[in-house]
Homo-oligomer: A and B are copies of this chain.
Amino acid sequence: MKKIDMDIVVIGGSAAGLVAAMTAKSNYPEKDVMVLRKEEKVMIPCGIPYIFGTLGTSDSNILPDGGLVNLGVNIKVDTVERINKEEHTLETEDGSVISYEKLIVATGSTPFVPKSIKGTDLENVFTVPKNKVYLDTFYDKLKDCKKIAVVGAGFIGVELSDELNKIGKEVTLVELQETILGNAFDDDTSLVAQDILTNRGVKMLNGVAVTAIEGNGKAEKLVFKDGSSIDVDAVVLSIGYTSNVGLAKASGISVNSQGSIKVDAYMRTHQKDIFACGDCAQKRDFITGRIVPIMLASTACAEARVAALNLYDLATIKTFNGTISIYSTNIGETTFGVAGLTEKRAKAEGFNILSATFKGIDRHPGKLNNPHYQSIKLVANKASGLIMGGEVIGGVSAGELTNVLGFIIQNKMTITDLLCSQIGTQPMLTASPAAYPLIKAAEMISRKMSRR
Contact = CB atoms under 8 A, between A and B. Distances in A.
Nearest to A300: B433
A328 B443 CA distance: 24
Contacts of A403: 400-401, 404, 423-424, 430
A74 to B, nearest CB: 18
Interface centre among A299, A337, A402 (most CB of B within 10 A): A402
A402 B426 CA distance: 11
A328 to B, nearest CB: 4
Interface stretch (A42-50, A228-236, A254-262): A42-50
A357 interface: no
A301 B430 CA distance: 15
Interface string A43-63: 010110010001100001111
Contacts of A46: 364, 425-427, 433
A296 to B, nearest CB: 8
Given A330-B429, A401-B400, A44 B421 contact: no
A348 interface: no
Given A365-B60, A401-B400, A50 B428 contact: yes
A134 interface: no
Interface in A1-56: 15, 18-19, 22-23, 26-27, 44, 46-47, 50, 54-55
A399 B397 contact: yes
Contacts of A424: 296, 298, 326-328, 337, 339, 399, 402-403, 406
A431 to B, nearest CB: 10
Interface string A313-324: 001011111011
Interface stretch (A145-153, A205-213, A244-252, A409-417): A409-417
A244 to B, nearest CB: 19
A365 B61 contact: yes
A292 interface: no
Contacts of A420: 302, 305-306, 309, 317-321
A77 interface: no
User: Assembly of this chain: how many copies?
Assistant: 2
Contacts of A287: none
Given A330-B369, A368-B47, A434-B19, A426 B443 contact: no
Nearest to A29: B447
A60 to B, nearest CB: 6
A396 interface: yes
B426 A328 contact: yes
Given A22-B434, A26-B447, A67-B434, 16 more contacts: A47-B368, A298-B425, A301-B423, A301-B434, A305-B419, A317-B414, A318-B420, A323-B422, A328-B426, A330-B428, A339-B424, A395-B396, A397-B397, A398-B400, A399-B428, A402-B424
Interface of A: 15, 18-19, 22-23, 26-27, 44, 46-47, 50, 54-55, 60-63, 67, 296-302, 305-306, 309, 315, 317-321, 323-324, 326-330, 335, 337, 339, 364-365, 367-369, 395-404, 406-408, 410-411, 413-414, 416-417, 419-430, 432-436, 439, 443, 446-447, 450
User: Which 3 pairs across A and B sit closest by C-beta, in order of nearness?
Assistant: A399-B429, A326-B424, A400-B400
